[in-house]
């Protein structure tokens, strides 16, 4: 992949974040997602690349744009696979709460898992605990391993967990060990990425969330030197068959970083929509907006926080662009 592609992708997530932010707190999550998707799609087609969506808004008959298999970009650039989530946290935007962002992950063609829209059990950590976690081990054992790796007591470890009834057993075991918990309403891509940044206070992510989000998190953690392990959780025969079509004959096997996003290179970009622990959300000031974006590349190990100021042009459908 070309080095300039990193900053091109920043324009994509910035546009999506600004478009979605217009719907913050208005209680209409589908409108927020549609606005971000349209803005993201428009900017993608200005980028010199031969892109193919492998994780998107759904199958072609479910999504009018950014559907799985859709071709993006101008011809003549590198051949890449693209994972998108125009709004990571649609309910967060709709309620005006904490930590939504627009996110894109890119890898060389054929290097990203085509994860189906099903659940995935996950565990994720930052660089200090790489090689210390095991999805097959107990919550207790993983807490102890991370505590030892980071030189702290188990009681000082903070685990991020999606606030769902299915995770009550995880929450109970963390509490039994004296560990601390940060429950999040949605957005486990952010939860996984936060494990690699000390200032978020998060040490480990546990729980079951979307498989596509697991791949996006893997792209980010590859850039950060962290680790995520996953296991698909098909709920019926149709989903089992989808796993087999992906080349995963045994859905119970643990998927490693190399299974989720292989090779040496990947690019990850996320722009805050609402304020969060990692990124500030979009702010509108007269005819301008400010954004904050995290953009990273695995090959170089570069991590950038990009603060942007944009002159706005309002369209009737509330999609925002910078002139």
Secondary structure of residue 268 in the 3-state scheme: strand
Any known ligand binding at 57? yes
Any known ligand binding at 186? no
Burial 273-284 (b: 16+ CB within 10 A, else e): bbbbbbbbbbee
- The residue to which tokens 């808004």 are assigned: 57
Any known ligand binding at 70? no
Note whether 222 and 257 are within 8 A (CB). yes
DSSP for 15-61 reads HHHHHHHTTTTSS-HHHHHHHHHHHHHHHHTTSEEEEEEEESSS-TT
Secondary structure of residue 118 in the 3-state scheme: coil
Specify burial of residue 311 (Cβ count, 10 A radius: 0-12, 13-18, 19+). Answer: exposed
> Cα(297)–Cα(169) distance, rounded to whole angstroms?
36
> Cα(185)–Cα(92) distance, rounded to whole angstroms?
8
Task: Report the candidate in 60, 61, 81, 85 with the shortest Cα–Cα distance to residue 72.
Answer: 81
Burial 152-176 (b: 16+ CB within 10 A, else e): eebeebbbbbbebeebeebbebbee
Note whether 243 and 133 are within 8 A (CB). no
Handedness of CA 139, 216, 116, 254 (dihedral sign): negative
Report how far apart the first and last C-alpha atoms of the chain are (Å, whole number).
27
Any known ligand binding at 173? no
Tell me how long the chain is: 323
Any known ligand binding at 85? yes
The binding site consists of 33, 57, 85, 88, 213
State the binding site for Mn(2+). Answer: 33, 57, 85, 88, 213
């Amino acid at each position: 992949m070309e080095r300039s592609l990193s900053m091109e992708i920043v324009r994509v997530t910035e546009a999506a974040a600004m478009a979605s932010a217009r719907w913050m707190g208005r209680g209409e999550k589908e409108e927020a997602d549609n606005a971000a998707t349209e803005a993201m799609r428009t900017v993608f087609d200005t980028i010199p690349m031969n892109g193919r969506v492998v994780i998107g808004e759904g199958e072609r008959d479910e999504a009018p744009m950014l559907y799985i298999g859709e071709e993006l970009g101008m011809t003549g650039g590198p051949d890449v696979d693209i994972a998108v989530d125009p709004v990571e946290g649609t309910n967060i935007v709709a309620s005006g709460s904490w930590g939504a962002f627009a996110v894109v992950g890119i890898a060389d063609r054929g290097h990203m898992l085509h994860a189906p829209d099903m659940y995935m059990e996950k565990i994720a950590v930052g660089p200090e605990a790489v090689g210390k976690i095991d999805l097959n081990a107990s919550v207790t054992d993983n807490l102890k391993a991370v505590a030892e790796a980071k030189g702290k007591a188990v009681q000082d470890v903070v685990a991020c967990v999606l606030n769902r009834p299915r995770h009550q057993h995880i929450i109970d075991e963390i509490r039994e060990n004296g560990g601390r918990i940060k429950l999040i309403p949605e957005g486990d891509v952010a939860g996984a990425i936060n494990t690699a940044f000390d200032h978020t206070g998060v040490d480990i992510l546990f729980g079951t969330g979307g498989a596509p989000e697991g791949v996006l998190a893997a792209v980010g953690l590859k850039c950060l030197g962290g680790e995520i392990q996953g296991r698909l959780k098909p709920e019926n025969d149709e989903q089992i068959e989808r796993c087999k079509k992906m080349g995963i004959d045994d859905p119970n096997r643990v998927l490693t970083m190399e299974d989720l996003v292989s090779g040496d290179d990947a690019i990850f970009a996320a722009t805050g929509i609402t304020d969060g622990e990692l990124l500030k959300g979009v702010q509108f000031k007269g005819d301008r907006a400010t954004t904050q974006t995290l953009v990273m590349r695995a090959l170089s190990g570069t991590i950038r926080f990009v603060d942007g100021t944009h002159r706005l042009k309002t369209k009737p459908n509330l999609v925002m662009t910078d002139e």
